[in-house]
A and B are shown apart, each in its own frame.
Chain A
Amino acid sequence: MLASFDWDVIQRSLPYLFREGMTFTVTLTVLAMFFGIILGTLLAMMRLSSFKPLAVAAGGYVNLMRSVPLVLVIFWFYFLVPYIGAWILRQNEPIKVGAFLSSVVTFTLFEAAYYCEIMRAGIQSIPRGQVWAGYALGLNYWQTMGNVVLPQAFRNMMPVLLTQTIILFQDTSLVYVLSITDFLGAASKIAQRDGRLVEMYLFVAVVYFIISYFLSYLVKRLQLRIAVPGKL
């Protein structure tokens, strides 16, 4: 039965799969990670703020994002971003937003909720005495956070942040629901054009597996390297 499969289709479509598809997937992952970690850290600082309305707003946002499926969030923002754009640019008609920008916004806002929870744990892992020491030296809130707390929090949480990014890398495949040509989308287009679903989807699974497995292996090694013996 395996004889009836045409594995050549993979080789023929390799340039398209990687140059178009994988480039999109990786770019989206890197941008969403970058902006997501920044926004997530800000949200974590808000959640831990002693100013209640700020903490409640950030908490509400994070819990909302974490309670709904990513697919639904993707649909939400696909339709919402043109209106937000019109609101920011003060225009009457919803503006046209490309699929790429729309997905970057979606994944940034969605993953920020997950990065927030990781960074919150990271900030809370720093003994309060360090914050007091910062204030005692005359540093203000931003200086204490930026120079004392956050560098340590990032260091402690680096493995978890990276693991979350591997999950983000896998999650970007869901842009498929918007018919975007990411790695899976590209493979799916070829699969349907040539009627080679089995070969293409197996190949996609293998590629995702190799990349994610390799990245998890790197994270594990990093975790061992930065672990302080006897601590945690």
Chain B
Amino acid sequence: MKYNWNWGIFWQPAADGSGTWLHYLLVGVVWTLGTALAAWLIALAAGSVLGVMRTTPSKWAVRFGNAYVEFFRNVPLLVQMFLWFFVLPELLPTAIGDWIKQMPPPWSAYLPAVLCLGFYTAARVAEQVRAGIQSLPRGQMMAGTAVGFTLPQAYRYVILPQAYRIILPPLTSEFLNIIKNSSIALTIGLLELTARARAMSEFTFQVFEAFTAATVLYLLINIVVVFGMRWVERRLAVPGLIAVGGAPQAGH
């Protein structure tokens, strides 16, 4: 079989003149993490609000939360990416649309990518938050209101501190998902890790070296996140509060 391996390629200067190919890929890691973290803030905030809404007594809040989750779950992420990038600027008032379209790269791709990943993952976080809240015994909410808490107070001091601890493991895998999903932003021109590995393979023809490097970098990111979250779980664990084992779920 003919393939000319050349692992030294990583120390050769990259085509964009910024440094070596290794440096070029590492900048991709920064963009991947920068996109994922910014999107995660949106996902966590919006997902928490939506998840709580779906457990409140208000029928309309529940309906809105359900509709949101159904919409974002049933449209492929790539199509959503195109909706944010190509379609939204056209549907907004002309002035705002033009402002978005005229943003200098890479921000013109970064902003839609962050919004897309954030609001998509929010639907998945909302599902976890709802499941976490509903896994608590009903007596918790009743006890909260019985001691005189208002509904927001009962959520803040009784329900949510327990629910978040229960859903930490699934939230970790959602965070890993958002890192992996950020690679879809390459379709709208964001030069994150996968896009850079692809570009490197096209410039140098060292296809397998480039993809091996990207794979190893993704694995390293995964390991760091998993161990980091285990540490967080241990720090936040409350003795005697039993974690609820999750049922198998479909997902990525």
Question: A residues within 8 Å of B by Cβ?
Answer: 1, 64, 67-72, 75-76, 79-80, 83, 86-87, 92-94, 114, 117-118, 121-122, 157, 160-161, 163-164, 166-167, 170-171, 173-174, 176-177, 184, 188, 197-198, 201-202, 204-205, 208-209, 212-213, 216
Contact = CB atoms under 8 A, between A and B. Distances in A.
Interface bin, chain B: 35 or more
Interface string B116-142: 000000000000000000000000000
B214 interface: yes
Given A71-B194, A198-B86, A170 B1 contact: no
Interface in B68-97: 70-71, 73-80, 82-83, 86-87, 90-91, 94
Contact of B76 (A80, A118, A157, A208): A208
B186 interface: yes
Contacts of B198: 75
A71 B76 contact: no
Contacts of B234: none
Nearest to A156: B248
Interface SS of chain A = helix
Nearest to A211: B74
Contacts of A177: 186-187
Contact of B86 (A114, A174, A197): A197
Give chain B's interface secondary structure class: helix
Contacts of B87: 197-198, 201-202
B54 to A, nearest CB: 16
Given A72-B218, A201-B87, A118 B248 contact: yes
B108 interface: no
A76 B76 CA distance: 22
Contacts of A216: 73-74
Given A70-B252, A177-B187, A170 B76 contact: yes
17 contacts: A1-B94, A67-B218, A67-B222, A69-B184, A76-B211, A79-B211, A121-B247, A167-B250, A170-B74, A177-B186, A202-B83, A202-B87, A204-B82, A205-B79, A212-B73, A212-B74, A213-B74
